[in-house]
Amino acid sequence: MVEHKVVCWKCGNEVKDPYVNLCPKCGGLLTIRIDLSKASEKNPEDLRQKPLGVWRYADFMPVDEAHKVSIQEGGTPLYKTEALGAAVDVPNAYVKFEGLNPTGSFKDRGMTVGVSHAKELGAKVVGCASTGNTSAALSAYASKAGMKCAVFLPSGKVAMGKLAQALFFGAKVLSVDGNFDDALALARKMADERKLYLLNSINPYRPEGQKSVMFEIWDQLGFEMPDRVILPVGNAANIWAVYKACMELKELGWIDKVPKLTGIQAAGAAPVANAFAEGATEFVPVGSPETVATAIRIGNPVSGQKALKAIYDTKGYCATVTDDEIIAAQKLLGRKEGICVEPASAASVAGLKKLREMGIIEKDETVACICTGNGLKDPDTILANVPKPIPCQNSVEDVERILAQD
C-alpha cells in the first residue's frame, strides 16, 4: 500500500474520518497527498511490466492493489486522429477514447479506486448523485464488490444508455425531483448521516484513479507530455485529477513540461468558463443549467475552484461551446475517424476547433482531447441528429435506385 494522507487542499489540515468530505476546520475540499518514495525507486519504463491500465500506476494509488475491485479499467486507445487534425488545422491532434472503458466512460478509473477504498473501510452501502455515467460505473463496481448501491439521478435528464446500465447492474435508482446539484445535495445529506459511503468526486479517492488517464497519455506518447490536454468540465474533478497526475510526475522529475490544461463547458452550464473569462479564482453558480450534453449539465460544480487552479497553474484555458458546436463536433469525429462519443465528450473536440479558430491553440501544438464517454450511452441524441433509415423494397433495383442518390 502506498503511504498517503487525506488533507485539506487549502489549509493542509489532515482529515482521518473517512466519512468526512470537507475540511472540518475551514470547509475546504479534500485531496490526497501521495508518498511518492515507492515510485521514485523506479524508472518510467519499469511501469510497463504491467498492462496499460489504472493498475500499471499502482505506486500512485492510495489503496492496496492486492484487494482491488477491478473490471480491467483504463488501457484505452490514444488515436492519432489525422483526418480530424486536418479538418481543424491541428495536425498533431490525438483522441483518448475513454468510451472503451468497461462501463463506457472514464468514471471506471475513479470507481476502481473509490470502491476498493470503500471495501477497505468495510462499507456496506455506497451511493452517488450523477448525471448518468458515475451512476453506471458505481453500480457496476458495487455489484462486483457485493455492496448495496443507491444512485440519485436528476429526473428525466439522464441519457437512456446510462439509466439502463444503473438499472441493469441492480442499483436502487432514485429519480430525484430537481437537477444534478439538487440530487448531489440529497446524496450528501445521506452520507453526512452515515447512511451510505459517498462516491461522488468530492470523495478524494475518486480523482486518484482518474489521474491514470494522464499517466496513460504520457506513457502512450513514449513518456512525453502533449503541449495541451483538452477535456470537458462538469462537476470539475477530472481536470483536477489530470493536473494532480502532472504534478506528481513533475515531483518525481519524470517530466519537465506540463501540458496546458484546457477545460470546455457547455454554454448553458458554464460557471467555470465564466469565472475564467473574468480572471476569477472563485466561480458563481449557474441557477438553471441547460445543454444537450446532459453529462455536464451542472451549475454548481463541487470542484470548480480546483479546476480553476489547474487551468491557471498550467497556463491553460477555459472556453464554452454551444450545443450546435457540440453536435457538429460529435458528427465530425464519427465521419472522419469512426469514433462515436457522447455529446459531453464531443465538447473537447468542439473546443479544439473553436480555440484553433480563435488563435489560442497554435497549429504546431500536440493536443490530446479526452473523449470521456461512449456515444452509445445517448442514442436519443444521435438519432435526433442523423437521417432516418431509408425504406427499401426487397429488390436489387430498389437498392440500386437508392444508392444512386446523393
Is there binding between residue 139 and ligand F0G (CB under 6 A)?
no
Among the listed ranges 88-96, 213-221, 227-235, 321-329, the one in contact with ligand F0G (CB under 6 A) is: 227-235
Q: Give the whole-angstrom CA distance, residue 100 versus residue 17.
A: 35
The reply to whether 237 sits near ligand F0G by the rule CB under 6 A is yes
For residue 232, state whether it binds ligand F0G (rule: CB under 6 A): yes
Element (H, E) at 355: helix 343-357
What residues contact 322, with CB distance under 8 A and at least 6 apart? 266, 267
- What x-and-dash track marks residues 295-324 binding ligand F0G by CB under 6 A? xx----------------------------
| 100 within 8 A of 77, measured Cβ to Cβ | yes
Q: Does 351 bind ligand F0G (CB under 6 A)?
A: no
- Segment contacting ligand F0G by CB under 6 A, of 36-44, 125-133, 316-324, 359-367: 125-133
Distance CA 322, CA 331 (A): 14
- Residue (226 or 232) nearer to ligand F0G, CB: 232
* Nearer to ligand F0G among residue 39 and residue 296 (C-beta): 296
Distance from C-alpha of 396 to C-alpha of 231, rounded to nearest angstrom? 46
Return the range that interacts with ligand F0G (CB under 6 A); candidates 170-178, 232-240, 254-262, 327-335.
232-240
Stretch that binds ligand F0G, among 20-28, 72-80, 128-136, 277-285 (CB under 6 A): 128-136
Smallest separation, CB 1 to ligand F0G (Å): 26
Closest to 219 (Cα-Cα) out of 255, 251, 244, 253: 255
Q: In DSSP terms, which residues pair with 80 in a beta bridge?
A: 94
Taking CB under 6 A as the criterion, which residues in 180-209 touch ligand F0G?
201
Residue labelled with grid coordinates 463536433: 329
- Tell me the window of 164-172, 244-252, 276-284, 339-347 that interacts with ligand F0G (CB under 6 A): 339-347
Which residues partner with 320 through β-bridges? 265
- Listed in sequence order, the residues at least 6 apart from 364 whose beta carbon sits closer than 8 Å to its beta carbon are 91, 92
Phi-psi region of 62 (alpha: psi -120 to 50; beta: other; left: phi over 0): alpha
For the CA atoms of the chain, what is the radius of gyration?
A: 21
Candidate list 345, 349, 351, 378; residue touching ligand F0G; CB under 6 A: 345
Name, in order, each residue with C-beta under 8 angstroms of 86's C-beta and a sequence gap of 6 or more.
none
Least distance to ligand F0G, CB of residue 265, Å: 9
CB under 6 A: which stretch of 191-199, 230-238, 276-284, 332-340 binds ligand F0G? 230-238
**How many whole angstroms separate alpha carbon 388 and alpha carbon 390?**
6
Query: Does 116 contact ligand F0G by CB under 6 A?
Result: no
Q: Is 31 helix (H, G, I), strand (E, B) or coil?
A: strand
**In terms of Cα–Cα distance, which of 4, 98, 120 is closest to 53?**
98
Q: Report the residue number, 161 or 373, with the smaller CB distance to ligand F0G.
A: 373
Which residues from 2-61 bind ligand F0G, rule CB under 6 A? Answer: none
Angle made by CA atoms 375, 115, 169, in degrees to the nearest 5: 50
CB of residue 14 to ligand F0G, shortest distance in Å: 25
131 lines the binding site for ligand F0G (CB under 6 A): yes
Q: In angstroms, rounded to a whole number, what is the distance separating the alpha carbons of residues 183 and 349?
A: 29
- Name which of residues 90 to 109 contact ligand F0G (CB under 6 A): 105, 107
Residues numbered 238 to 297 that lie near ligand F0G (CB under 6 A) are 238, 295-296
Count of residues of this chain found to bind ligand F0G when the rule CB under 6 A is applied: 22
Q: Which residues form the interface with ligand F0G (CB under 6 A)?
A: 105, 107, 130-134, 201, 232-238, 295-296, 342, 344-345, 372-373
